[in-house]
Amino acid sequence: MYLTQLDRRPLYAQVHDRLLAFIRDSGMEPGERLPSEATLADRLGVSRATLREALRLLEEEGVIVRRHGVGTFVAANRHLESGLERLESVLALAGRQGMETRMEDLEVHVVRADRSVAERLAVEPGTFLTCVCRTILVEDRPVAYLEDLVLTEWLSPDHLDEAFNGSVLDLLRRLYPQRVQEALAEITAVDAGPSLARRLGVDPGGALLLLEETLFDATGAPIGFSRNYFVPERFRFHVVRR
């Protein structure tokens, strides 16, 4: 493990990523104890305070468990965790936490905006949208079913080739650097219907977290709307308040 002077991020963020890579690349199993804080800080060449901030983030993300007076351990039941204040795709989040992802049931087609979606996107009902639906699996477990509706002038079906990994947000950011800026999100609890239950491997009527999100460009104009259904046992949201 080492840090590079070319990385201009805060030290704790660099340490966070190095520790994730260490856990992944060394093949550590759930329940296995990490080296002591003194050992890790010495290997990384950082202060204990910097190391502890990185460990705090890993604990919030469900990667590790810290037991006072005992040590730090790889979490037995890893789950994804995201702050609502951070605009980040599920796939980017999983990658940052050292988890493998894949996509199933991809469907891409052009639809017309109904009145509800048209209001969110400030367009006329019937406006053409590219609809992208898929199931995201993290470490072979269904975590989310995602439905994205994006204005066709921003995203056409032709943009989704064999390189598409499942994240419309990441794709838009590659297509339009610096132009995709923010999102307005609303989160509610909903019951899983038969189709969602089958896709996500849950019981019909079971609880899901629905994140509805409107995506905006740099001018504040809406460009897309998404409905993201998450399995609560495998994904947690948190909010940072300062």
Under the banding of pLDDT at 50, 70 and 90, the label for residue 238 is low
Q: Give dist(CA 141, CA 160) in Å, integer.
A: 24
Residue 72 · residue 40 · CB < 8 Å:
no
Q: Are 160 and 124 in contact (CB under 8 A)?
A: no
> Using one digit for the tens of pLDDT, what is the confidence trace for 38-63?
999 999 899 999 999 999 888 877 78
Hey, where are the domains in the chain?
11-74, 80-238
> Shortest CA distance to 152 belongs to which of 134, 172, 167, 180?
172
Task: At 25, list the tokens.
Answer: 């690349």
**Percent of the chain's residues with pLDDT above 90:** 56
Contact 185, 220 (CB under 8 A): no
pLDDT at 65 over 90: no
CA distance 52 to 87: 25
Could you read off the pLDDT of 90-113 as tens digits, one per residue? 787 777 666 788 999 999 999 999
Whether CATH 3.40.1410.10 fits 80-238: yes
pTM beyond 0.75, yes or no? no
Provide the CATH number for the domain formed by 11-74 in this structure: 1.10.10.10
Q: What was the pLDDT predicted at 25? A: 81
**Each residue of 128-169: pLDDT tens digit?**
999 999 999 988 889 999 999 999 999 999 999 888 989 999
